[in-house]
Chain A
Amino acid sequence: MPSFQSSLSTASPAYADNREDMLALIDTLNRARSRAEAVSEKRRPRFSERGQLTPRERLQRLLDPGMPFLDMYGLANFLVDTPDREASIPGASLLAGIGFVSGIRVMILVDDSGISAGAATPTTGEKIEACLDVALRHKLPFIHLVESAGADLFAYRVESWARAGGMFYRHALLSAAGIPTITVLHGPATAGGAYMPGMSDYVIAVKGRGRASLGGAALVRAATGEISDEEELAGTDMHATVSGLVEYTAEDDAESLFLARQLVERLDWNARCEQVTPVSFEEPCFAPEEIAGLVPVDYRKPYDVREIIARITDASNFEEFKSRYGASTVCAHAAIYGNACGIIANNGPIDPDGATKAAQFMQLCDQADMPVIFLSNTTGYMVGKKYEQAGMIKHGAKMIQAVSNIDVPRITLYIGASFGAGNYGMCGIGYDPDFLFTWPNATTGVMGGEQAALTMEQVARSGARRRGQDVDEDALQAQNQKLISYFDNQSDAFYTSGRMLDQGMIDPRDTRRVLGFALATCWESRHRTLRGNSYGIARM
């Protein structure tokens, strides 16, 4: 029996309205994802002509069938290419996520060479680096299926190129940490991209298609005048027999993925990880499906976040900690798929009592070696005389101290409002959570657009008063409108996710599954012993 009694009525008009609004946002997300797939799919005839698999088929062949796959940074570059959300292509020309290969949990990156031949977008380098960081943090073997035209020279930016060096730096760190990196060369890897195989511990390459060179034939001719053939300059056979860059050769894409699966299996990776003791658990008593109708997409409308906790936790069974103290900050012990965890959630702004309660609860979770899940839905720390005098700053600071310094896994979900320092205290991106996903209705920013506009309006009015001038009301209204849309546009979850301020947008109804996968990943990484070295593997 759950201790929590839900007061949600699925027959109420509010439920129907909320559900309609949330499903519309989920639809926008699904349309964006499908658009990337459709663009890539248009190139299918070219892939077939060359006897290749499409990038999505490659991913499918690599993964264990029927096992979960956690898509990561799926909205990267969304609204960066164009502000039109019905035209923008998400993904940064990469498919990425954590999945299983031969029973081993791995981090996978696939160049989506169906989109602009896999050429880098302004966000591609950042996404690759973020995925390498996830692999390092969670001790996940890293597999990259490479086929990329490289950077678009017409869109060259010195800062992107200079920072892109961080990709190979991270490869070196992985290798030295004792985490194997594998490249499957399905197509070209040119210039900087050639270090992708170069830096990998293992390279599998497809005959006739895989290519790696610091300069392609055109650049070589421009640089030295030498006329060369792509195969002798960069081909799989040359690298397998002459340069020694390639360890394994495959006749085609399918064989290369078979070889990758076999290689992962032979590494016997799980021999150095404790085995999970299977535990029994019950599904929530309240259906996760109901989350869509429970949450108003407008964060201004309050609801009880415990209704969400009841729909993501085992048997809907959770115990609130200090429920009557700082009550708008909810702390609770629960379990998700048998993983005991602490949950911190908000029912609005955080007051001094809520901040100290959350700080204490985090320390207790740390003491118990228990992951903390943050369901971030706060319009910030309370402002005003009463709260400043009560020490809002010092109490909020305690919460930020705790969130920064606890040593247990921290998993954050932006589920509604995430404003001001409330975003920091609730383990926003700046606090480097182990995992961070967003719902499509989330709103993130220093403050709301209306509050920003009103603040600047008051500044303008008092300035005019000081100078003895009249206020130009029309200009002020225009300024307000401009500021509101400037702020609100940037706080939208599709905008923030496109700029990689989270690791991806999820359907709120999938929350329990995503959290379960993230918790299992954290558990594994903390129970795995690595055999690191100080040098990384050198290819001889």
Chain B
Amino acid sequence: MLVDIIAEVTGTVWTVSAVVGQTLASDEEVLVIESMKMEIPICTGEIGTLQELLVVKGDVVQEGAVIARLEVGGA
């Protein structure tokens, strides 16, 4: 099953820590959004494989936007 990873805040993609194809643990950092002078980590909600990464460093993302998709549940 594909799960959307959502930007929790409007901001700029500061660093991208994960790569497509990578297996990520639950609560593992995918990328960091810089907003209001804070570096806010965006993490997975569960274990899975990173299927799609829809942003690159420097992109401005809106709150609620899908920034990545995670394949979970051994589909």
Contact = CB atoms under 8 A, between A and B. Distances in A.
Interface stretch (A28-36, A380-388, A507-515): A380-388
A300 B10 contact: no
B10 A299 contact: no
A349 interface: yes
How many A residues touch the partner, as a band? Answer: 10 to 19
Contacts of A300: 34, 37-39
A134 B34 CA distance: 41
B36 interface: yes
A379 B10 contact: no
A451 B37 contact: yes
B39 A380 contact: no
A348 B63 contact: no
B39 A302 contact: yes
Contact of B38 (A348, A383, A450): A348
Contacts of B39: 300-302
Nearest to B14: A300
B37 A299 contact: yes
Q: Chain B, interface size: which category? A: under 10
Contacts of A299: 37-38
Contacts of A379: 36-38
A373 interface: no
Contacts of B16: none
B40 interface: yes
A372 interface: no
B10 A448 contact: no
A379 B75 CA distance: 42
Contacts of B41: 302
A382 B37 contact: no
Contact of B36 (A301, A349, A386, A450): A349
B37 A417 contact: yes
Of B38, B41, B63, the most chain A CB neighbours within 10 A belong to B38
Interface string A292-303: 000000011110
Interface string A439-478: 0000000001011000000000000000000000000000
B10 A348 contact: no
A299 B37 CA distance: 8
B37 to A, nearest CB: 4
A383 B36 contact: yes
Given A384-B10, A386-B10, A448 B37 contact: yes
Contacts of B10: 384, 386
B36 A380 contact: yes
A127 B63 CA distance: 47
**8 closest cross-chain pairs (CB), A and B:** A379-B37, A349-B36, A300-B39, A379-B36, A448-B37, A348-B38, A379-B38, A384-B10
27 contacts: A299-B37, A300-B34, A300-B37, A300-B38, A300-B39, A301-B39, A302-B38, A302-B40, A302-B41, A348-B36, A348-B38, A348-B40, A349-B36, A379-B36, A379-B37, A379-B38, A380-B36, A380-B37, A382-B36, A384-B10, A386-B10, A386-B63, A417-B37, A419-B37, A448-B37, A450-B37, A451-B37
Interface of B: 10, 34, 36-41, 63
Given A301-B39, A349-B38, 12 more contacts: A300-B34, A300-B37, A300-B38, A300-B39, A302-B38, A302-B40, A348-B36, A379-B36, A380-B36, A386-B10, A386-B63, A450-B37
